[in-house]
Amino acid sequence: MKDKYIPFYRTPITAKQIKAVVGTLKSGWLTTGPAVHMFEEKVSEYLGAKYAIGVSSCTAGLHLALLAAGVGPGDEVITTPYTFIASIEAIVHCGAIPVFADIDPETFNLSASEAEKKITRKTKAIMPVHIAGLPCDIPAFERLSRKYKIRLVHDAAHAIGSAHKGRKIGATPDITSFSFYATKNITTGEGGMVTTSNKEWAESIRILSLHGMDRHAWKRYRKSGNWYYEVTKLGYKYNLADLNARLGLAQFDEFEKMQRMRIRAAHWYDDALADIEEVILPPRDAESDHAWHLYIIRISCQKLSIGRDQVIERLTELGVGTSVHFIPVFMHPYYRKQYKLKSRDYPRSADVYKSVITLPLFPGIRKSEVAEVARRLKIVLAGAKRR
């Protein structure tokens, strides 16, 4: 184990899942079809959401969700600068203006109180992001939604399996978009899902996701289908394919098991890292179920002769794959210039960014691998202490 490379992620694909995908290949139906709709029903039932629509990515889902909620050119959407850039792209592609509010430094999630300060007459929606699988302060955001009559569009790319007070993310009243990217808690390779309780929004998203064609158009090549269809909206090519959905269905059969493995691994890390004074463990919320998509620690560098970046470099040299979640929006040249963003305007996000490291976490990671990550991190930190 001493010399073994521990990757940031290993995709847990089983023989059963491979067989399911091969079955779809043999079926002759590869694009949007019966497997997608079965997958939608499974996710909808699991979350307790009235409607679920499969899409090509979480980014596509966020874009469609914003459009369905009525966001358009000149509208403002409040969100966090501490997120992957896809959250912002979805806003910009609507012609809307992203407005940034700082985070809660304990959870890394968008602060409801900071978001409220940014609300104007142009504010059409707020987009909370559930970082790492830890739910944001949902009651606070729902109060803002009711008070100011603005929409909530949840970026739940990390949050399949998360819940607040027993209510799963995705069963909230407005719109939620999930990711099934390769590293997510459920994967379809590429793909996503939008959930909502609003029938009109659901129908709009379904139509927009496939070129604006009426919602039964996907059936036109089936025996019971009809060649005639109508385009009722200006749409997009955002549909999920059966080939992807079949993998998602097979993964979903093992989802609870995979979640237990993630939770167990997070506890292993807690125990293995508890005695390292420079390590701050990931945040928790007693009222929430954490999906543990990511295990993000903070490194306190006050007593170290190196910074976070050098810690990552030395872990890489020792054979540990890591990542950083996230590089804030104000650090990216395009967005910094386009929206005149300055890190000093978001001090909490800037401070958190400088200290975070995401450690390897995936179903199937062994306790010995977690212990080895911790051992190698201890070596790095011990060697960097100021004398």
pLDDT, tens digit, 9 for 90 and up, residues 295-351: 999 999 999 999 999 999 999 999 999 999 999 999 999 999 999 999 999 999 999
15-252: CATH topology: Aspartate Aminotransferase; domain 2 (3.40.640)
CATH 3.60.150.10 fits 255-383, yes or no: no
Dihedral sign computed on CA atoms, order 189, 191, 195, 199: negative
Mean pLDDT in the chain? 96
In single-letter form, the type of residue at position 309 comes to D
Q: How far is CA 367 from the centre of its chain?
A: 25
Q: Residue 12 — pLDDT band, cuts 50, 70, 90?
A: confident
- Beta-sheet pairing, 279-280 with 192-196: unpaired
pLDDT for 128: 98
Residue 39 CA to residue 250 CA, distance in Å, equals 9
Give the neighbor-by-neighbor strand order of the sheet with 97-100: 51-55, 192-196, 175-179, 151-156, 123-127, 76-79, 97-100
pLDDT for 225: 73
Longest C-alpha distance within the chain, in Å?
A: 77
Above pLDDT 70, what percent of the chain? 97
Residue 190 CA to residue 182 CA, distance in Å, equals 6
Q: Where are the domains of the chain?
A: 15-252, 255-383
Residue 361 CA to residue 266 CA, distance in Å, equals 8
Residue 320 CA to residue 61 CA, distance in Å, equals 33
In single-letter form, the type of residue at position 384 comes to A
Residue 185 CA to residue 157 CA, distance in Å, equals 10
**Mean pLDDT lowest among 37-46, 78-87, 218-227, 330-339:** 218-227
Residue 329 CA to residue 110 CA, distance in Å, equals 13
The answer to whether 325 and 308 have CB atoms below 8 angstroms apart is no
- Token readout for 66 is 């914003």
Quick: pLDDT tens for 266-277.
Answer: 999 999 999 999
3-state DSSP assignment of residue 298 = strand
- Residue 303 annotated in active site: no
pLDDT for 338: 97
Assess whether pLDDT exceeds 70 at residue 1.
Answer: no
Q: Residue 294 — pLDDT band, cuts 50, 70, 90?
A: very high
Active-site pick, 184, 257, 367, 385: 184
- Where is pLDDT greater, at 117 or 172? 117
- Token readout for 266 is 């997070």
| Sequence-ordered list of residues with C-beta below 8 angstroms from that of 204, at least 6 positions apart, any chain | 64, 67, 68, 233
| Sequence-ordered list of residues with C-beta below 8 angstroms from that of 264, at least 6 positions apart, any chain | none
The answer to whether 81 and 349 have CB atoms below 8 angstroms apart is yes
Quick: pLDDT tens for 129-166.
Answer: 999 999 999 999 999 999 999 999 999 999 999 999 99
pLDDT for 2: 58
3-state DSSP assignment of residue 346 = coil
The label of the residue with tokens 């040249």 reads 333
